[in-house]
Each structure stands twice: as C-alpha cells, then as structure tokens.
Chains A and B, each alone.
Chain A
C-alpha cells in the first residue's frame, strides 16, 4: 500500500522510522524516497530497501533446502512429520546465508554496519538451531522409536538433550580455544565448540575425499571383470539357493507329517516330560535342528554371494563407463587430483612439522608474485576484490555441493523407514556445523581487508589453532584412507579368484 503525498502526516513518518529501524520489511520499500523529507527516514529507507536482498535470498535458500529434502533425500519415503523437513530447510537456509554474507562482504553490498548486524543475527539464529533445536528433536525422535519410553517422550527428550549439552560443554576442556576473558554464556563459547566439531568433520571428509577421488576416477585401479566371472558367481548363488530350498522342503514335509500324526513339537514340560524325552526318540526334532543350522549357514553364504555379485556388476559398469568420452575425461582428472592430493598431504606435513600457519592468503600471494616477479602491473585493489570473489565463490559452491552429495549417499546407505527422521536430523546437524566451520576456515583464503568482519563477529577465537587442528586431522584421515583403500584393493582379487 503506497500512501500518496497527501497521506503522510508527521505521525505516520515517525511510525515509519521506528518500523524501518527494526527491519520492518518489504512493504516500506514500496515508498518512493521523495515523499519522505526527514533525513533519518531517508537513511533508514535506504537501509531497508537494501535489506531486501538478504531476506529474499534466505527464502530462496529455504525453498531450495525444502525441495532438496523432498526430491532427493526422501524420495522413497513418505514425510509424516513435517517438523523434520522444516528443521532441515531452516538449517540449510541459515547456513547458506552466512556464505551469502561473505560474498556481500567482498562485493561491498550494503553498508558495513548493516552487514555486521546481519552477521550477528544470523550467527545467533544458527547457533540457536544447532545447539538447542536440532539436538532436541534428534533426542525426541530417537525416544519416540523406543516403545518403552513412548509415553513420556518429552521428558526423556529433555534428558537426552541435557546429556548432549554436558558432553558438548566438556568438549572445550582439552582444546586451547578460548582466551579466558570471555564469560560463560557468550557466543564465543558456543562457536568455539561448534568450530572444533565442524573442523574435525571437514578434515575427515576432506582427507578421505582427497584420496578416494583419484581412486574412483582413475581406471588404473579397476579390476578386470569378465562376463564369465559374473556368470560363474551367479550360478553359484542359484545353486546355493537351490540347496536351501531342498532343505526347507524336507523340513516342511517333516513338520507336516509330524502334525498329521498328531505329534506336538513344543518342548516337554515337567519332570516326567523331561525323562520321557530322553528315552523316546526325539530324532525327528534333532534332525530338524541340524538341518536348520545347515540352512542358516547356507543363507549366510547366499547373502555374501549376492553382495559379491552386485560388486562385480558395479565394477563391470564402471569399466564400460571408463571407455566412454566422459569416462576418459574423468580418468584424466583423476591423475590431476592425485597430484593435488599428494601436494596437500605434503603441505599439511610441512605445516605441522615447521609449526607454521600461512600468513598470507592465496590471492594476495598470487598478486604479489605476478607484480614482483612477472612485472605485470595492474590495479591491485580492483583485481584483488574480483579474484577473491571468484575464489571464495568457487570454494563455497564446491563445498556445499560436495557435502550435499556425500550426505545423500550416506543417507541412502544407512537409512530405513524407521530411522529416516533421526538420520536426516543428524545430517542437518552435521551440515550446520560443517558450514559454520567453513566460515572459520575460509577466513584464511581472503585478503586482510575482508577478514576483519569475520574476526569481529566471531570474537577472539584462536583461529590458528583451528587451522593446525585441520591439518592434523586431514593428515590422519588421508593416511588412514590410503591404508584402508590399499587393504581393500588387495583383498578383493584374492576373494574373487578363490571362487
């Protein structure tokens, strides 16, 4: 509703001023500036009209999270509890808003006080969600699944949440993450702990991903699988199932004849019953229990054979894919990524051994090198802004995409119809913590003039500690993934040839 000039009494103006300072919302932006003479109102108006981008982008992120949940994660399940979907989308929306604020920082959108305000607000909300809301709902849904505790769900959910808070608080003790001058209920306390968990997760995923990526892309590691191998294995599987069937037929026939003869096969009760069972032939039931044991062993064998056959089919498909153009492209990328992975491991080791934390970010270093060594002169400030925007943008997009893909794979692998709610909430928690720590770590990739806002907002965290911790966990994770993949790779052809 746009009031025309004649409908703007001073009372209405001050009302507008108040509204706009509390972030009134979109309806004020419809006013055109020239009808508001007072300076305060004009400044506030500019503020609110520029406040639109964050809020409508937030709604966009929320919608994206909602769609992702519905289309990808829950495509085989029915959403019974909409709370789960809302919580997931909210976590996603607020996490992405943090990245958006970093981009705004670099591009200089909005003015710095409003940016600071948005940062603080967003940080508070996301901490609220990650520390209070999501763990509480996880506890609630876990408790709902257990039949015994169903009646007093809320009570037990609170108990679970309190346990979580206790361990969460204790997490801060072994790490030198805080300077002692902060109070007990400050944001820094919460952020530091969330940061530790998130950085650990990031390093673990990053280490495993760095090793796994060349392993899956390169066709050098693909085992040779022929159609004859697959047929032989399938034949064995069907033979095993046939054996199971014939044994089960014997058991079924034995049960039927015993039933028809009027024998009951429940356990003999009482003292005399036991004595009788010793003397009279219980050979029928003994035979049956022997057959049952054989059937159990054969069933276990059939399960293993099924999994191996599925594995061989998957390998064969990968071999066929590697012969296509896309496959060759990924193979080439694999070589490139393996070099990158080795370099990262090397750098992590150097950082730990020589106890250094990179002082300059890649953008400034790159510009220094070009200016000093290559002698190319260009407008440093202009280019530094654009290059850091692109670099940070790429980092953000790839990390969001990589995380969502990993989470989806994880979800498909371990969820079932009962536990899907709990698992999705756990994934939302992981996602939130991951994104918060990315903000912590991305600080190092930005030139100093853009770092200030993160340092201001997050308070005096020991940023160097987080980088060191990341390097340590990354190294551990990468080396153990190499070991694990080596063992798995060695074991597979032996298993395969023993058939």
Chain B
C-alpha cells in the first residue's frame, strides 16, 4: 500500500455538542449509533482527494483528532490535552446550535489550541468578545460547524443562522450547519460537501504547497516536545 501524505485536523468543542458523531459521519459515512463520552482523544481517518477531477489530483489521509473535555477543565487536564495540539494543520470548531454557551466557548477553545490561553476570569463574558488581533497572524485554516440543526424549530431558524454567520465571520472561516444523525446534509454535491472539500483542500495547500506552488516534501519534521530525538513511529 503506497504511503500517502497526511494532514492533522483537530476537532474541538464543548462536551456534548456532537463531535464524535460528526467525526464518525465524516470518516465512516455512517451515523454513530451509541455515542458515549470521549475520554482523552479519539482519532479517525478520512481519505480525501485533493483537487478531484483535475490532473493534479492526489490522495491524502486526513486525521481527525476529536479531543474531549470542556473548556473549563482543571489545569492538569488542560496540560495533558496540550500534547495533542502539536503540529496541527487545521481546526474544526464544533458548537451546538441549541446551546448558546457552546458557541461562546469556541473562542476559548481556539485560543487554547493555538497555545495562547486566555486566563479565565470569574466573570462570564456574555457576548463572546472577540479580539481580531489575537487571530491576525493565524495561518491555520478554521471551519465552524453547528450541530443539532433539526432540533431548532423553523420559526427560530433564521435568527440562529444569522448569529452563527457572524460567529463564522469572526473566525474568518466557512460555516456548515447540520444534523449529525442525518447523512443527507453531507451528501455528495450538496453545498455543505463542497465547503468541506474546499476546507480540506485549503488545509492541504497550507501544509504541502508553499506560496509559489512548490511542493513541500512530506515526511517532514514533526514538532515534538523535548526535542526531536525521537524517530517518528507514525508511518508504517
């Protein structure tokens, strides 16, 4: 089996928003039957064709690292989670459309992953003040996904969707709203599938293609804590 290049994408979000269901849907094309609490990190792999249908088509592995927990966890849990944030190529931020607090916490999640943790104060910032400057030099592509769309009644849908559109704009990211228990939201050819595909392409480009179109060779250095003395056991 030819070894393909890989990219690493984090899937972050509050506890109970549906990250595990989402990852299962993306990788196995099936609905997750019995979701249970994620302890630590659960990983799944999706095979993606970069620039499908063109002569430059190439297949890549996309590793989706679904990191469990809540943004207000003890600092020991946060330090342990930090181990998963090394050499990340893309971040998917997941929030629950029926729970406003999960959307507000996305800012803290992204800061935690980008290693610039904001010390949590006692007062809850209710309108999710967002400082563009903190994200100004961010090179990592982001995607915002809202789950549990089916649980929002038709009358409130517009209001919720406008709110999430603002949120996605703040992150300078695309957004997708879906229901993880229904595969038709990501059916081939739908606008959601196109957005997803574009996001993965962007991640691959940032990782493997430098600005002038030259390809950065794969199997490259993998940032490790404590120096790079350990050989990468990653590729079989």
Contacts and interface: CB of A to CB of B under 8 A. Distances in A.
Interface stretch (B76-84, B152-160, B181-189): B76-84
Interface string A299-337: 100110111011101101100000000000000000000
B74 interface: yes
Contact of B46 (A244, A252, A299, A417): A252
Interface residues of B, number: 41
Contact of B76 (A231, A237, A314): A314
B54 to A, nearest CB: 19
B84 to A, nearest CB: 8
A313 B100 contact: no
Contact of A313 (B45, B79, B105, B230): B79
A239 B234 CA distance: 8
Contacts of B83: 234, 237-238, 309
Contacts of A417: 15-16, 99
A250 B39 CA distance: 24
Q: Looking at A77, A306, A309, which has the most chain B CB atoms within 10 Å of its CB?
A: A306
B27 A299 contact: no
Given A76-B70, A416-B15, A317 B75 contact: yes
B100 A245 contact: no
Contacts of A15: none
A132 to B, nearest CB: 31
B76 A234 contact: no
A243 B6 CA distance: 14
A392 to B, nearest CB: 31
A246 B63 CA distance: 10
Across chains A and B, which 3 residue pairs bring their CB atoms closest together, nearest first? A306-B40, A313-B76, A314-B76
15 contacts: A76-B105, A78-B99, A231-B226, A235-B230, A237-B83, A244-B43, A246-B236, A248-B43, A252-B61, A306-B40, A309-B80, A309-B83, A310-B76, A311-B76, A416-B37
A237 to B, nearest CB: 7
Contact of B27 (A244, A252, A302, A309): A252
A75 B101 CA distance: 9
A: contact size bracket: 35 or more
A13 B143 CA distance: 72
Interface in A226-282: 231, 234-235, 237-239, 241-246, 248-253, 256
B128 interface: no
B100 A78 contact: yes
Given A75-B124, A231-B225, A246 B39 contact: no
A244 B44 CA distance: 9
B14 interface: yes
Contact of A239 (B42, B226, B233): B233
B233 A250 contact: no
Interface string A43-83: 00000000000000000000000000001000111100000
A253 B70 contact: no
A418 interface: yes
A248 B6 CA distance: 13
B59 to A, nearest CB: 9
Given A75-B72, A77-B101, A416-B37, A306 B43 contact: no
A444 B100 CA distance: 49
Given A78-B100, A237-B83, A252-B27, A245 B63 contact: yes
Contacts of B47: 252-253, 256
Given A246-B235, A416-B15, A76 B44 contact: no
A242 B86 CA distance: 13
Given A244-B43, A306-B39, A416-B37, A249 B61 contact: yes
Contacts of B118: none
A246 B70 CA distance: 28
A310 B80 contact: yes
